[in-house]
Structure 1
């Protein structure tokens, strides 16, 4: 990517902190790079693939939520007011917990 080089979980962290604009992230390009990486490995690591799919899906969800037009205030419900990045934060914290535990093993 032109705007970022590093692990996907760091990219998601930067999106969450508003240090990288979600609109500048070409999700298709990330997916293409990941597919090339998997082809180089010659074998599929299910854990790695699963982590990538969750991260890519979360990026797509955030990006699509940010692109959708905002409803009028009288049409909004409490669930609609939540920042779409809140779920990402929860997932990243959960991911970090398991990653730290795996490193201790």
Structure 2
């Protein structure tokens, strides 16, 4: 089981990957981190909000398609309901909100 320090390092790394990936993608998405929350805002003013839930050691993502909870397991973040991998879901949700394919390596 991970401790809080490990959890925060993993989340910080995940959020950095998203911010760098969005820059790399060239999509018109604004990102802002405030405290434990990363907000992605799109041209149409819609948002995706990603925040860390320290007590549960989970990442939560909220978008117009719903709310998702992710746990870290075997080196990846996975949705606690669907099992979908975190970054795949972030890219899919960004693409839906942006109205164009948003992808990064």
TM-score (norm 2): 0.30
Q: Which of the pair has the greater relative contact order for Cα pairs under 8 Å at 6+ separation?
A: 1
Structure having the higher Rg: 1
Structure with more helix by fraction: 1
TM-score (norm 1): 0.30
Structure with more strand by fraction: 2
